[in-house]
Structure 1
Amino acid sequence: MKRRLTYLAILLFCTSAFAIDLQQAKAQGLVGEANNGYLAALAPSPSAEVRQLIQTVNSERKESYQRIAVSNGLTLTEVSRLAYKKAIEKTESGHFYQSPSGLWVKK
């Protein structure tokens, strides 16, 4: 039993060690800042790992946007638009963001 638990712990550690993070995904051109204030895949068929990353980041962002909206008397859409503008400012050179018209731009 102890050996199984050790094996399981090693397996879980290895899986998380290989998981891609947001900055790596941006640097590799896999994701970018979409014009709606959320993260989006650049490829039409992203890997499961990239899809999971996008889902996690966007879920966290939505929760944060909702808190900001409620505390400031704004709508979720208004907050996400403001976040989009901030995201463009913070986007590093070589990373992608989506223009207001929907085109992907490399900064």
Structure 2
Amino acid sequence: MRNILIFIISMFFALSAYALDLQQAKDQGLIGEANTGFVAPVTSRPSPAIRDLVNAVNRVRQEQYQKIAVTHGLTVREVGHLAHKKAMEKTEPGHYYQDPSGMWVKK
């Protein structure tokens, strides 16, 4: 389990190509950490650029979660939930994350 969490944390650093744009979107309250371990738009009508960023980040996460799942005998969903727990801890003040019921919470 510890190895999975370490791998998930390192996966977040692997998103450095998206970090600046993702960081800006999070700073502006446009994107948050969904309770699935993926990112999602916080607004009901995201711009095409935000939708594209969400899709790009989530494609990378999906690939990483799949690798972790296969390696550790878990489902992608289980890996996503583990990643969500870690993402909630790392969410910066003022940024959004979803609680287990799906409600957006500003940290």
After superposition, the C-alpha distances for 1:14-39 in whole angstroms (9 at most, x for unaligned) are xxxxxx70000000000000011110
Equivalent residue number for residue 41 of structure 2: 41
Q: Between the two proteins, what is the percent identity of the paired residues?
A: 60
Q: Please identify the structure whose Cα radius of gyration is greater.
A: 1
Return the structure number with greater relative CO, CA threshold 8 A, min gap 6.
Answer: 2
After superposition, the C-alpha distances for 1:40-64 in whole angstroms (9 at most, x for unaligned) are 0011110010000000000000000
Long gaps (5+) in structure 2: 1-19
How far apart are the structure 1 equivalents of 2:90 and 2:61?
Answer: 15
Mapping of residues 70-81 of structure 1, within 5 Å: 70-81=70-81
Equivalent residue number for residue 87 of structure 1: 87
> Structure 1 residue runs of 4+, over 4 Å off?
none
How far apart are the structure 1 equivalents of 2:75 and 2:97?
Answer: 23
Long gaps (5+) in structure 1: 1-19
How far apart are the structure 2 equivalents of 1:93 and 1:43?
Answer: 18
- Residue 91 of structure 1 aligns with an amino acid whose one-letter code is T
How far apart are the structure 2 equivalents of 1:95 and 1:40?
Answer: 12
Query: Normalising to structure 1: TM-score of the pair?
Result: 0.80
Query: Normalising to structure 2: TM-score of the pair?
Result: 0.80
Aligned residues: CA RMSD: 0.9
Number of residues of Structure 1 aligned to a counterpart in Structure 2: 88
